[in-house]
Amino acid sequence: MNYSLLLKNELIESAPHNACCKRAYTAGLLLDLREMRENCLVLVISSAAARHECARAYRELYRREALLNGSVMLFASEKLYKAYKEPPVFACPQCRQSFLKGVMIACGSATDPQKAYRLEFRLANPEKVPILADFFQEMGWEPKCRSIEGGAALYFKQNAVLEEIYSTVGANNALFTLINAKIARDIRNEENRATNCVTRNIEKAVAASRKCCVAIEKIKAASRFEGLLPELRETAELRLAHQDANLAELAQLHNPPITKSGLNHRLRRIMAFAEGLHEN
């Protein structure tokens, strides 16, 4: 079962019980109704679970049965037709939560957070787009809008906003999945940054080692190697013999071992000696 369907099922299981919240919930479920003719409305929903919940809520509130034909639902009710013409009513603080639950069940589509952060609401009725957009803005969330075939979609891609929305509607399982996915992604990103940092450091060390070895070979080719101080010759020979060793390892190979700062000082003197050959 995909993440979006799990979210819808979780919301359906927590449908409201208060009378005013039931009306707001049903208004959310049926938000995307379109008018066929007077007192006759149509709603297209791809999710079977969402269709069944719309039919149940409609039956409970209006004492009528919706006509189902595949993904198409037909509603013939004068009361519903009048309600369809009016904006949703929020009689108590929980009504907004209930309305949002209904909208998410009927129009919402959530992407698995392991793949991407995205919650989208698809509407076929253009008159309902600004109503839902205004609702989101009143809740403190600024949706983006895009055109889709047969309508428009409002969507959110910010992880923090998705967390707030899931928390608002009480979708705790979806929320925990989202948070866990974010933690896992942060860990992967941190591991990648650490790996990239190590890789860059290795590349820099290899390049520095190669540059130093070239300088030493140059000194030897000029028959000036014996002109180096004994401690510099020791370092040069060790550098050539252990080109893959890092500075700490190379410092320990000396007899007696020297510090990294001491090794760096010797390598700089060797490089300067090689550069002096070029100038001469």
* Mean pLDDT, the chain, whole residue set: 90
The model's pLDDT over 146-194, given as tens digits with 9 standing for 90+, comes to 998 888 999 999 999 999 999 999 999 999 999 999 999 889 989 999 8
Average pLDDT of the segment spanning 184-207: 89
Contacts of 274 (CB under 8 A, 6+ apart): 215, 216, 218, 219
CA–CA distances in Å: residue 27 to residues 56, 91, 232:
13, 13, 84
Q: What is the CATH number of the domain that holds 166?
A: 3.10.28.10
82 and 154 fall within a common domain: yes
- The total domain count for the chain is 2
Give the whole-angstrom CA distance, residue 19 versus residue 30. 17
| Residues spanned by the domain of 271 | 197-279
* Cβ atoms < 10 Å from Cβ of 65: 12
Give the whole-angstrom CA distance, residue 77 versus residue 155. 31
Give the whole-angstrom CA distance, residue 234 versus residue 241. 11
Q: Decide if pLDDT at 200 tops 70.
A: yes
Alpha-carbon 13 to chain mean position: 27
Are 48 and 17 in contact by the 8 Å Cβ rule? The answer is no
126 and 213 fall within a common domain: no
Q: Which of 43, 64, 53 is nearest to 8 (CA)?
A: 53
Judge whether 204 lies within some domain.
Answer: yes
145 and 214 fall within a common domain: no
213 and 92 fall within a common domain: no
CA–CA distances in Å: residue 256 to residues 13, 201, 227, 250, 259:
74, 27, 22, 12, 10
Give the whole-angstrom CA distance, residue 25 versus residue 17. 10
Judge whether 67 lies within some domain.
Answer: yes
Top pLDDT among 174 and 280 is at 174
164 and 222 fall within a common domain: no
Q: List phi, psi (to 5°) of 87.
A: -70, 160
Judge whether 187 lies within some domain.
Answer: no
Sign of CA dihedral 240, 244, 247, 251: negative
153 and 235 fall within a common domain: no
Query: Residue ranges of the alpha helices (H) in the chain?
Result: 3-13, 19-29, 48-62, 78-84, 93-107, 129-138, 159-168, 172-221, 230-241, 247-252, 260-279
142 and 88 fall within a common domain: yes
The model's pLDDT over 35-92, given as tens digits with 9 standing for 90+, comes to 877 778 888 888 899 999 999 998 998 888 888 888 888 888 788 878 888 888 899 9
Give the whole-angstrom CA distance, residue 104 versus residue 98. 10
pLDDT of residue 149: 86
Amino acid at 136: F
75 and 29 fall within a common domain: yes
pLDDT of residue 227: 86
Contacts of 254 (CB under 8 A, 6+ apart): 234, 235, 238, 263
**Threshold 0.75, pTM exceeds:** no
39 and 128 fall within a common domain: yes
Give the whole-angstrom CA distance, residue 252 versus residue 260. 9
127 and 222 fall within a common domain: no
